[in-house]
Structure 1
């Protein structure tokens, strides 16, 4: 069964790029430009991995990640915080994310972090 990755980002270019890379690598992808109603969005798909952008309209990435991590049914899903913010590491820690990736990212680094995050889960 293919691993499922859910990407939250309001930048359509990033969503398209990530989708191309991951579908090419054999993953199933779902994307969303907003983290509104995050627990319902994630529950409906139950991904193996989540990428969370920092700057999202309405509910920001930190808040959305905290919401996921406080949900007993969803908190096991690894969240990778990704942002162009210089403080991406601190933001990821504040959000309770499992890992982080700075933007702009190297495609190889992106693929590596996906692989390593999903292996732990196997």
Structure 2
């Protein structure tokens, strides 16, 4: 069964790039803004989330904190991608799984996501 990735990113070019990178191996859902992250995640049931910090309405930092507060979403890996100079601080504060600064290398992004998902499903065996 193909793993699912939820992309939370407001830039359509980044969404398109991530689609090109991951469409062969994963089922993808992309949103450009978030109103209720918990509802979105429980509906889509992603195996991993790629989150921009500047996602409209709720913001990436608040979205990650909300996910970590709920039992059914707290263990979903979150990879932050952002051009923010605060990315490392937010990464530590939110207990996200990884962060990738923009601009990012496609191969590095693919490696990070693949390794996280491989480790996650290796632990569940």
- For residues 32-111 of structure 1, the aligned pairs below 5 Å read 32-111=31-110
Unaligned ranges ≥5, structure 2: none
Q: TM-score scaled by structure 2?
A: 0.93
2:18 matches 1:18: yes
Please provide the CA RMSD for this pair: 0.9
Task: Look up the match of 2:4.
Answer: 4
SS for the counterpart of 1:16 is helix
SS for the counterpart of 1:6 is strand
- Write out the 4+ residue segments of structure 1 that deviate beyond 3 Å after TM superposition: none
State whether residues 3 and 47 of structure 1, in contact with CA within 8 Å, keep that contact through their aligned partners in structure 2. Answer: yes
SS for the counterpart of 1:80 is strand
Q: CA deviation at 1:48?
A: 0.6
Q: TM-score scaled by structure 1?
A: 0.95
Unaligned ranges ≥5, structure 1: none
Give the paired residue count: 121
